[in-house]
Amino acid sequence: MAVIELKNVSRHFISDSGVVPAVTGLNLTVKDGEFLCVVGPSGCGKTTLLNLIAGFERPDVGKVLVGGVEVQEPGSDRFVIFQEPALFPWLNVSQNIAFGLKVKGVNDAEQKERVCELLQLVHLSRFGDAWIHELSGGMKQRVALARALALDPAILLMDEPFAALDAQTRDLLHEEMEQIWQRTQKTVIFVTHNVREAVRLGTRVILMSPHSGKICREYPIDLPRNRFLEDPDVARIASVIRDDLRREAASVAEGC
C-alpha cells in the first residue's frame, strides 16, 4: 500500500539569477514499510523532496499525499532527522528523548517507560543521565533517532544523518539502523551522497537528475539482509549506480 505519493510536483525558488527549479514534474510512490534511499548530484532536489514530504515547504504545482491526505503542514506522523542532531544541550539524554512525549502531555510514568525502551533500542542504556556535550557524534545521532521514535511516527525522513561520522561509527550505525527498521517497520526515506550506503540500507534506490529535479533511474535492491558495505553484491550494484551518477554529473558540467 502506498503511504507517500508525489503527483506531478514542482517547486521553484527565486534567486538573483532568476527562477531556479528544485524539482519539476516529480512523481513518486513510496510503499508502507519501504526503506527508500535517494542519491544524486548536489543541487538535484534531494533535500527539497524531504522538505515537501515533511510539510516544511509546499509545492508550486502538484500534490504531496501521505496516507491519501494532502500534506498542508508538518505533522506528528512524519519526523525529520538531519545531518546535525539538533539536540537540546541543556537537557540530558533521557530528557531529550522524552521531550516530545512531555509536550504531548504523556504522564511521567509512561515517559520513563518509553525512554527506557528507546535507550535499550539504540544501545544507550548507560547514558540516560549523560549530557549532550559528553557524547560522541554517533551517540548523538542515536539520541536523535530515539527522540524521533519516541512519538512513534509512521515515517522517518533522514537527510544525510551519517555523513559527518567516521567510517567505523557509520558502519556501526548502519547495522543499528537496519535492525531498528526491521523491528519497527517504519517507512524510511534516506537521503545520502554515499552510493554504497544507499545500497547497504535500501529496499530501493532512486537517482535524481539535476537537469530537471526528476527521478531519472530506479534500482530495486533485492539483496538479503543483513548486508555489509564490503559485500560483493553491494559493491557491484553500487558501481552501476555510481557510473550513472557520474554520467549525470558530467552532463551537468558539459551544460555549464
Q: What's residue 254's pLDDT?
A: 55
Q: What's residue 1's pLDDT?
A: 60
How far apart are the C-alpha atoms of 229 and 199, rounded to whole Å?
A: 8
pLDDT in tens, 38-85: 998 877 888 999 999 999 999 999 999 999 999 999 998 999 998 888
CA 220 to chain centre: 18
Which three cell numbers, joined as nine digits, stand for 67? Answer: 496516507
Ordered per-residue pLDDT tens for the chain, 256 residues: 669 999 999 998 877 777 777 889 999 999 999 999 999 887 788 899 999 999 999 999 999 999 999 999 999 899 999 888 889 999 999 999 999 999 999 999 999 999 999 999 999 999 999 999 999 989 999 999 999 999 899 999 999 988 888 888 888 889 989 998 999 999 999 999 999 999 999 999 999 987 667 898 999 999 998 889 999 999 999 999 999 988 877 766 555 3
- For residue 151, give the nearest of 108, 120, 115, 180 by alpha carbon: 115
Judge contact between 147 and 67, C-beta under 8 A.
no
Q: What's residue 256's pLDDT?
A: 39
Q: What's residue 251's pLDDT?
A: 67
Q: What's residue 17's pLDDT?
A: 72
